[in-house]
Amino acid sequence: MKLNLPERIETDRLVLSRLSYEDAEELFYAYASKPEATRFMSWPTHQSLKDTRSFLDYAVRGWKEGMDYSFSIRLKDNHRLIGSFGFLHDEGKVQFGYIFSPTQWGRGYATEVCRKMMSVVKHQEGVYRIFTFVDVENKPSINVLLKSGLVEEAKLIKWFRFVNQGNEPKDCILFRLSL
């Protein structure tokens, strides 16, 4: 079962579009190569454009297969790429994540995007669970998720090894959207 997501979604200030190969350089320089941006990500900080292009190969293939729906996030006023948002789809169970350029932190974009994307995905046929997890130290994302209508479901002790934090097991918080 594939999700029936539009390839372009707008908020008041932002445009989200299906990721494409043409986004490689902007993704790399906006956030993928930035250790401060990738600290809490499940994937390693990109060392070269080759890493970013490999990710885009995966993202393009994932959309076609109905498993990964990744979007670029751009400012409406100047079309500048500032981040990305993605859904991992597993037969009605949807996990999501996002990342932004450090130059864009603290402007409310993550909350704006999360609220919009939650409203889009919760109406998808067959979706029965929407969730994400975050490192307990990632206070800004915890705040975004709470402001976006998600609820804390559990604290998971030594739950995940974040590759950009020395691969040590970290405590995480599991959040879900009530459907």
Cα distances (angstroms) measured from residue 80 to each of 26, 48, 50, 75, 142: 9, 21, 21, 5, 26
Residue-level pLDDT, tens digit, the chain, 179 residues: 899 999 999 999 999 999 999 999 999 999 999 999 999 999 999 999 999 999 999 999 999 999 999 999 999 999 999 999 999 999 999 999 999 999 999 999 999 999 999 999 999 999 999 999 999 999 999 999 999 999 999 999 999 999 999 999 999 999 999 98
Q: Which domains does the chain show, CATH number per domain?
A: 8-130 (3.40.630.30)
Phi/psi region, residue 108 (left: phi>0; alpha: psi -120 to 50; beta: rest), is left
Q: Tell me the HSE value of 153 on the side-chain side, using a 13 A CA sphere.
A: 13
DSSP at 7: S
Cβ(8)–Cβ(16) below 8 Å: yes
Give CA–CA dist 7/87, Å, rounded. 13
Beta bridge partners of 174: 133, 154
**pTM recorded for the entire structure:** 0.96
Give CA–CA dist 68/60, Å, rounded. 8
